[in-house]
Amino acid sequence: MSYYQRHIFFCLNQRENGEAACAQQGAQAGFDHCKSRVKKDKLTGPGGVRVNKAGCLDRCAGGPVAVVYPEAVWYTFVDQHDIDEIVDSHLKNGVVVDRLVLPADVGR
């Protein structure tokens, strides 16, 4: 058994040279909202969910992005409603939110 049931990483990378980066796409707000929801819903701790910041995840063209492990599901999101759906469906119940899955061919 893994220490956490699920682990979600949010790319918060910012580029100074003007290239596309998740930080410019509202990634911090998504991270903050997810962390709040996970705490509010008491999903934290061993056997629960861990919400983490990440540097560049190299999928900038789909930004902002987050990835959920152990399933290795990559998401893109627009607003708090998308984050709520990821929390309620995937992080709580293990059901992937298909409409938010980042297509496999989206890279940097």
Structural domain boundaries of the chain?
Answer: 6-78+94-100
Tell me how far apart the alpha carbons of residues 13 and 21 are, in angstroms, rounded to a whole number.
6
> pLDDT by residue (tens digit) across 54-79?
999 999 888 899 999 999 999 999 99
**Average pLDDT of span 98-102:** 97
Residue 92: pLDDT band (50, 70, 90) is very high
Residue 106 is predicted with a pLDDT of 87
pLDDT score of 1? 65
Q: What is the CA radius of gyration of the chain?
A: 13
Q: In this structure, which topology does domain 6-78+94-100 adopt according to CATH?
A: Glutaredoxin (3.40.30)
C-alpha 76, offset from chain centre: 8
CA trace torsion 61, 31, 3, 99 (10° rounding): -50
- pTM of the predicted model as reported, rounded to 2 decimal places: 0.94
Separation of alpha carbons 37 and 41, rounded Å:
6
Give the strands of the sheet with 49-54, arranged side by side. 49-54, 6-11, 65-69, 73-76
pLDDT tens digit string along 13-50?
Answer: 998 887 788 998 999 999 999 999 999 999 999 999 99
